[in-house]
Amino acid sequence: MHTVSSLRKALGLTTTNQVRNRIEAVRDVLEPHLRRGPNNQILLSDDGLAVLRQVQELYDSGLTMTEASDVVRATALYQQPPATKVSPGLAQHLTMPGEGGGAPMRILQDEVRFLRNRLAELEGGLVRSASPASGPEETLWWMPLREDLDGA
C-alpha cells in the first residue's frame, strides 16, 4: 500500500496536494483501491498507483486534469464488464394487490384517505376566511377600527 508521500515520489510530483487532486479527479475509479490507514491516512494499492500513473501520463501529454480523468474513467468502464446483468425476460410479480401483503396497502390507502380529507378541510377553511362577512355575528377584525376612524 502506498501513502500520499510515496505516491508523490512515484509520480514525480512536487507537492502532496497534486497527488490529492489527482486522487479526487478519479475517485470513483480508485474507490476499490483506496483504504484509510492509521490517523486517517490515505493508502492506495498497486492497481490504484497504475491508474494514477495513467492519469499523470495523460496530463503530461497535454490534456487537462478533467480531460485526463474522463479518458481514464472511460477506459476503466470499457475494460470492466458490467457487474450486474439484466435478465432478458420480464420479472413476474408474485403478489397481486388483492392477495397476501394487503396490510401495508391498506395502511397506505387509509393514510391517503386521511390526507385528502384533511386537505379538503383546510381548503374549505381558506375559502371561508377569504370571503367577506356574511352575517351580523361575523365581524371582521378591522371593523371596530374603521368605526373609530369614522367617528373621529
Buried b (16+ CB within 10 A) or exposed e, 76-104: eeeeeeeeeeeeeeeeeeeeeeeeeeeee
Question: What angle, rounded to 10 degrees, do the helices at 65-79 and 46-60 form?
Answer: 130
Please tell me the predicted confidence (pLDDT) of residue 17. 92
Q: What is the pTM of this model?
A: 0.51
Structural domains of the chain ordered from first start:
4-79 (1.10.1660)
pLDDT tens profile 4-13: 899 899 889 8
What is the per-residue pLDDT across 12-40, written as a single tens digit (0 to 9) for each? 989 999 989 999 998 888 888 888 888 88
pLDDT tens for each residue of 116-144: 999 888 887 766 665 555 555 566 777 77
% residues pLDDT > 70 (the chain) = 70
Task: Name every residue whose Cβ is closer than 8 Å to that of residue 5 and which is 6 or more positions away in sequence.
Answer: 16
User: What's at 151, amino acid-wise?
Assistant: G
35-58 pLDDT, tens digit per residue, is 888 888 888 888 888 989 988 898
* Per-residue pLDDT tens digits for 67-95: 888 888 888 777 665 554 445 555 555 55
Cα gap 87→104, rounded to integer Å? 29
CA distances from 109 to 44, 94, 116, 119, 149 (A): 51, 21, 11, 15, 54
